[in-house]
Amino acid sequence: MIEIKNLCKTYHLKSGDVPAIQNVNLSIHEGDIYGIIGYSGAGKSSLIRCINLLEKPDKGEIIVDGTTLVSTISKNGEEKVSIIPNRALRKTRKNIGMIFQHFNLLDRLTVYENIAYPLRYSGYDKKEIHNRVIELLSLVGLSDKINVYPSSLSGGQKQRVAIARAIASHPKVLLSDEATSALDPDATESILHLLKDLNQKLGLTIVMITHEMSVIKSICSKVAVMEDGKVVEEGDVYSIFSNPKTEVTKRFVATTSALHKVDQLLNSSILLGNDQKGKLVKLIYQKTSVKDALISEVSRKYHVDVSIVLATVEILQDAPLGGMIAWFQGNEKDIQSALTFFSDSDVKVEVIEHGRVD
Ligand SMILES: Nc1ncnc2c1ncn2[C@@H]1O[C@H](COP(=O)(O)OP(=O)(O)OP(=O)(O)O)[C@@H](O)[C@H]1O
Ligand SMILES: [Mg+2]
């Protein structure tokens, strides 16, 4: 649905050049809820604003739903960026809705008029606009607020109006730039729920920019992590949570993962000076291996005692991800066989500390 290739964007300021996007490649499929996470200044907004050309890139390629918005041609050794002409761009923009952190509603217009506004420029007649607004208000659960002004709505309700306006002309793509960042936890959850619902009901492809990993965890299927204008890690949300590779991704995952408790315990001094014998082991269980009674099987098979210090499990994308810290006791060879058995059963094994082995 969205292809981004070798995208670059530098802002030229008096104080110097700011390379906001540096050679970014992304492939977002139809029906994805695709998260883009990064700290402030990472280049997230610049990237998302390039997708609907609110920002003009310097180089690269952007294709949205089969339409090439940006391309780069090499001529006589020089690279020249080519942007889709204005008239075609206006048409494409109808296919791309956008929502923002501060809602961007028109305060002097009622809820009805705010939603009707973009439809007036889309060739709809009065009756069609009326019917569509009624339909959209019901879709976002705000039918009773049709004639009120934005100032009398809560933040969550304002964002619902903004969502209705953004999807009014049936776009296939919705770009969301920190749409829940100004909301309290309850409103955040209900907006995320609405977005997921629209994704499923309408097949809407959503690109979600956020600096909160909990947002990614709750509705995204894929995620790209940005740092200094680059995508430093990318993949499906489950793999990123179960096996984050870069430091920045590990920090984001740690903010919301139950598995973080495992690392917190390992980093604390609680386990030091423990007089346990054997090996202290960290186990990460993925998908299928969570369900199996591997611990009891290992104990039986290899005659090792497993004493669990901490165990936790969380659900990500409808699949469990578990973590455990446990002491393995028995003879060295048996412990080794037990650990190999875990590795072979799709469990990630890490020996933390070698204790005294009998
Ligand atoms: N219009 C602009 N003119 C000049 N520099 C800009 C402009 N917009 C962004 N920048 C700079 O480009 C870099 C990336 O900014 P961007 O807004 O894309 O980051 P972000 O990841 O969205 O950050 P935040 O989480 O704070 O919204 C920053 O260094 C920023 O200062
Ligand atoms: Mg931003």
Backbone angles phi, psi at 21, to 5 degrees: -130, 125
Distance 325 CA to ligand 2 centre (A): 38
- CATH code given to domain 2-254: 3.40.50.300
Give the whole-angstrom CA distance, residue 116 versus residue 124: 10
Distance 4 CA to ligand 2 centre (A): 18
Q: Which of 61-65, 204-208, 291-295 has the lowest mean pLDDT?
A: 291-295
Which ligand 1 atom sits closest to the C-alpha of 49?
18
CA-to-CA separations, 272 to 95, 267, 275, 325, in angstroms, rounded: 58, 10, 9, 13
To the nearest whole percent, how much of the chain has pLDDT over 70? 94
> Would you state the pLDDT for residue 270?
63
Higher pLDDT, residue 262 or 151:
151
CB 312 within 8 A of CB 264: no
CB 101 within 8 A of CB 182: yes
Q: pLDDT by residue (tens digit) across 6-46?
A: 999 999 999 999 999 999 999 999 999 999 999 999 999 99
Q: pLDDT by residue (tens digit) across 119-160?
A: 988 888 999 999 999 999 999 999 999 999 999 999 999 999
b or e along 242-261 (b: 16 or more beta carbons within 10 Å of the residue's beta carbon)? bebeeebbeebbeebbebee
Q: State the helix-helix crossing angle for 111-120 and 155-166, rounded to 10 degrees.
A: 20
> Would you state the pLDDT for residue 292?
63
Beta bridge pairs of residue 322: 285, 313
Question: Strand, helix or coil at 67?
Answer: strand
Residue type, 143: S
> Would you state the pLDDT for residue 356?
42
Question: pLDDT-derived band of residue 205, with 50, 70 and 90 as boundaries?
Answer: very high
Question: pLDDT-derived band of residue 357, with 50, 70 and 90 as boundaries?
Answer: very low
Distance 178 CA to ligand 1 centre (A): 13
pLDDT over threshold 80, residue 212: yes
> Would you state the pLDDT for residue 289?
64
Q: Structure pTM?
A: 0.88
Distance 45 CA to ligand 1 centre (A): 7
Tokens 């030229």, residue located: 12
**Residue boundaries of the structural domains of the chain:** 2-254, 260-354
The binding-site residues of ligand 1, defined as CB within 6 angstroms of any ligand atom, are 11, 13, 18, 20, 38, 40-46, 211
End-to-end CA distance of the chain: 59
Pairing of strands 230-236, 279-286: unpaired
* CB atoms near residue 265 (< 10 Å): 16
Query: In sequence order, what DSSP letters do the residues of 85-150 get, joined into one string?
Result: -HHHHHHHHTTEEEEETT----TTS-HHHHHHHHHHTTT--HHHHHHHHHHHHHHTT-GGGTT--G
> Would you state the pLDDT for residue 354?
52
> Would you state the pLDDT for residue 260?
76
Q: Which CATH number fits domain 260-354: 1.10.150.80, 3.20.20.140, 3.30.70.260, 2.40.110.10?
A: 3.30.70.260
pLDDT over threshold 50, residue 180: yes
Q: Largest Cα–Cα distance of the chain, in whole Å?
A: 84
Ligand 1 site-directed mutation target among 9, 11, 14, 215, most atoms within 8 Å of CB: 11
Question: Strand, helix or coil at 178?
Answer: coil
Tokens 């761009």, residue located: 89
Question: pLDDT-derived band of residue 353, with 50, 70 and 90 as boundaries?
Answer: low
Mean pLDDT of 295-299: 84
Cα atoms in the 13 Å half-sphere on the side-chain side of 58: 15
In this structure, the residue with its CA closest to atom 1 of ligand 1 is 11
Tokens 């002097």, residue located: 108
In this structure, the residue with its CA closest to atom 5 of ligand 1 is 11
Ligand 1 site-directed mutation target among 45, 49, 227, most atoms within 8 Å of CB: 45
Which ligand 1 atom sits closest to the C-alpha of 211?
25
Q: pLDDT by residue (tens digit) across 60-98?
A: 999 999 999 999 988 888 888 999 999 899 888 889 999
> What would the two tokens of residue 220 be?
């995204």
Burial of 291 (0-12, 13-18, 19+ CB in 10 A): exposed
Average pLDDT, the chain: 90
Give the whole-angstrom CA distance, residue 275 versus residue 330: 15
Distance 211 CA to ligand 1 centre (A): 14
> What would the two tokens of residue 273 be?
């000076």
DSSP category for residue 172 = S
Q: Which of 102-111, 113-122, 157-166, 169-178 has the lowest mean pLDDT?
A: 113-122
